[in-house]
Amino acid sequence: MDGTIRIRSVAWFAIVVFGAMALALAACGGDDDDATADATTTEAAPSTAPADTATEGEGVSPGDTVEGDVELGQFPTPISFTTKDSWFVPIAEPDGVVLEDPVQEAPFTRAVLFLTATPMGGLDTIGDLVGSGDQYDEVTIVDQAETQVGGFDATVYDLTYDGSGTLPFLSTEGFGGSIVLRDTEYYRIWEVDNGDDFVLFAPVLRGDVEWLDKAEALIDTIQFGEK
């Protein structure tokens, strides 16, 4: 990604509010910060069970530990990927799956959220949302680039939020209805143009940006459709 784009306008949505999911990674939630924290991110829950490898059509379930060839059946179009790392699944529901690194720097971070989502306010893109003004003037797009995910065009954003509290950012089908941003975190978000409003959301602490290489390695293997 090239350059730094800073957009100060009136509204920008917040970090990962994976609503309703008790995962603390993607902050789902409403206006209440405590409720948001509960519904967001997923805390790294230790698991001693052997890693499960999802097989075709099975998808994943909450509490799984997955690695190798994995398929997610929670979305309109099946999604598969391959990873040499182990990932804990704190949340798996229609239109929303969270993969969490078993080793975390802080709760609700080091995760990859797979979700069906659109920018708050019915805007077309995250870039439009950040540029819309009001509360989003405290959101900075640090970097933005065109890329591909699973053969589909995508836009990837790196961004931060410097306001107080949490900021609702994405409207979701799962995760309790929304994802929020926090001022302690750094986000990498992929908007994938596959016709399903598919978004990938990866939150880390601001001093832990290098971890995003692990998320990128997984996302580079994503495929859409039946194998």
Q: Residue 213 belongs to a domain with what CATH number?
A: 3.40.1000
Whether 17 is covered by a domain: the verdict is no
Q: The tokens of 208 are what?
A: 């832990």
Number of separate domains in the chain: 1
pLDDT grade for 176, boundaries at 50, 70 and 90: confident
Whether 61 is covered by a domain: the verdict is yes
Provide mean pLDDT across the span 2-13: 32
Mean pLDDT of the chain: 80
Residue range(s) defining the domain that contains residue 140: 33-44+54-224
Q: The tokens of 164 are what?
A: 């107080």
Whether 6 is covered by a domain: the verdict is no
pLDDT tens-digit map of 81-111 = 999 999 999 999 999 999 999 998 888 899 9
**pTM, 2 dp:** 0.77
Element (H, E) at 213: helix 212-219
Tell me, what's the pLDDT at 58?
Answer: 59
What count of other Cβ atoms lies within 10 Å of the Cβ of residue 116?
Answer: 20
pLDDT tens-digit map of 133-157 = 888 999 999 999 999 999 999 999 9
pLDDT tens-digit map of 197-216 = 999 999 999 999 999 999 99
Whether 3 is covered by a domain: the verdict is no
Q: The tokens of 128 are what?
A: 């439009």
Whether 19 is covered by a domain: the verdict is no
Tell me, what's the pLDDT at 53?
Answer: 38
Evaluate if residue 9 carries a pLDDT over 50. no
Maximum Cα–Cα distance across the chain: 48
Tell me, what's the pLDDT at 227?
Answer: 59
